[in-house]
Amino acid sequence: MFPLQRGRRLRVNESIRSLVRETTLSPSDFMFPMFIAEGENVKVEIPSMPGIFRRSIDLTVEEVKELFDLGIRAVNIYVKVSENLKDNTGKEAWNPNGLMQQTIRAIKAACPEMIVMPDVALDPYSIYGHDGIIANGDVENDSTNDALVKMAVSHAEAGADFVAPSDMMDGRVLRLRQGLDAAGFHNVGIMSYSAKYASAFYGPFRDALDSAPKEADVVVPKDKKTYQMDYANRIEAIKEALWDVEEGADMVMVKPGIAYLDIVREVKNAVNVPVTVYHVSGEYAMIKAAAERGWLDNDKIMMEQLMCIKRAGASLISTYFAKEAAILLKK
C-alpha cells in the first residue's frame, strides 16, 4: 500500500518501462494481406486504403521479398478476378492456371520461406458477390463446401502452406481437412476465419476486390448476415472457434480486430491453437483518414492498436499496417 508501494517507480524512464513490459511486438507477429491484379507492372492504389495497392504478380513478388527482408513471415492473398470469369459456381476458383494459383507458385518460387495463406471463399469469383453458391434465394451451404474443397486443394497443389477459409459455411473446416488429406496434403494447414462478424468495417476491402453483394435478376441475400456472425453475440464466437478446432483447424481467426478485443480474449482462453486477428480495412482506413487531417498521429495510433491486439491474445495479426509497423520496429 502507498507509500511503500508506488506504481510509478516502474515507469520512471523508457529503460525501466521496457524491462517490465508485458507485451512486445515484432515483425514476425504480422501477416500482410495482399491484393493481386491481372497483367504486368500493374500497381493501382485503392482509394479507400491509402498506401495499399492491387499489384500484378511480378510486382507482388518484389513486394514479398521486401516484406521478408523486414522480418514478416506470412502473407494472406486475395485476387481481383475479371468480370468475364465470374459465375454462380465459382469454378474459376480452382482453375490450376488461375490468378491465385499463379500467384502462389510465383511467391513460393521467389521466396520459399514466406508462408502463403490464400483466401478460400467464392465472393471474388461470384457474379452475385457472395461467399458461396446461390440457390433458392440464399447461399447454399453444402454445395458451397464442395466448391471450397476444390479451391483449397488447387491452392495446395500450387504450393500454399495454409488455406484460409473466410466463407463462414457450416462444416467447411472438416470438409477441407478431409479433402486436403485425401489429396495427400496432410501438412497443409487450415487457418479458419472462425469468428467472422457481419461488420461494416469491411467496406474498403470490398472496394479492393469488388466483392460486395450485388443486385441480380434472381433472388439473392442483400447482405452476408445469413452466414457471417451477428456482432451482438459473444458466446457464439467461442462455439464457432471450438467447432473449427474439433474439425481440424490449426489456427482460428477473429475478424474484425480493435472493436472485437473482448472476443479475441474469450477465444484465446477457450482454444488450444494459435489465434489470428484481422485488423481490417475499415480500421486501417479510419486511422489513415484521421492522420491525413492531422487529427491523429499515424505511427503512434498504429503501434498502440497493434500492441492492444497482441495484448488481447493474438498470436498473429493480419494487418495492412504490417510493412509500416515492421519498418518502424526495425528503427
- Residue 328's pLDDT band (cuts 50, 70, 90): very high
Choose between 213 and 223: higher pLDDT: 223
Residue 42 has pLDDT above 80, yes or no: yes
Angle ∠(199,285,37) on CA atoms, nearest 5: 90
Q: Return d(Cα 95, Cα 289) in angstroms, integer.
A: 38
Say what the pLDDT of residue 217 is: 67
Query: Are the beta carbons of 130 and 90 closer than 8 angstroms?
Result: no
Say what the pLDDT of residue 259 is: 95
What residue spans of the chain are helical by DSSP H? 14-20, 57-69, 99-110, 141-158, 172-182, 203-209, 235-247, 261-270, 281-292, 298-312, 322-330
The helix/strand/coil state of 223 is coil
Say what the pLDDT of residue 218 is: 72
Say what the pLDDT of residue 86 is: 95
Say what the pLDDT of residue 70 is: 98
Amino acid in position 246: E
What are the tens digits of pLDDT across the range 317-327? Answer: 999 999 999 99
Q: Indicate which residue of 80, 196, 268, 323 is catalytic.
A: 196
What are the tens digits of pLDDT across the range 62-90? Answer: 999 999 999 999 999 999 999 999 999 99
Q: Indicate which residue of 80, 255, 310, 323 is catalytic.
A: 255
Q: Return d(Cα 178, Cα 185) in angstroms, integer.
A: 10
- Continuous segment of H or E residues that includes residue 147: helix 141-158
**Which three three-digit cell numbers place residue 222?**
442483400
- Is 196 annotated as catalytic? yes
- Continuous segment of H or E residues that includes residue 247: helix 235-247
Residue 231 has pLDDT above 90, yes or no: yes
Say what the pLDDT of residue 213 is: 78
Determine if the peptide bond prior to 3 is cis (ω within 30°).
yes
What are the tens digits of pLDDT across the range 6-31? Answer: 999 999 999 999 999 999 999 999 99
**Which three three-digit cell numbers place residue 310?**
497482441
Query: Are the beta carbons of 249 and 275 closer than 8 angstroms?
Result: no
- Of 51, 35, 53, the residue nearest 43 (C-alpha): 53
What are the tens digits of pLDDT across the range 287-299? Answer: 999 999 999 999 9
Q: Is 22 annotated as a binding residue?
A: no
Phi, psi (rounded to 5 degrees) for 175: -65, -40
Say what the pLDDT of residue 226 is: 95
Write the DSSP string, 91-132: GGGG-TTSHHHHHHHHHHHH-TTSEEEEEE-SGGGBTT--SS
The helix/strand/coil state of 5 is coil
Say what the pLDDT of residue 209 is: 76
- Is 91 annotated as catalytic? no
Amino acid in position 102: Q
Say what the pLDDT of residue 11 is: 97
Q: Please report the domains of the chain, with CATH numbers, ordered by start residue.
A: 24-252 (3.20.20.70)
Residue 198: Cβ within 10 Å count: 15
- Residue 205's pLDDT band (cuts 50, 70, 90): confident
Residue 219 has pLDDT above 90, yes or no: no
- Residue 190's pLDDT band (cuts 50, 70, 90): very high
Share of the chain above pLDDT 90, in %: 92
- Of 101, 264, 251, the residue nearest 177 (C-alpha): 251
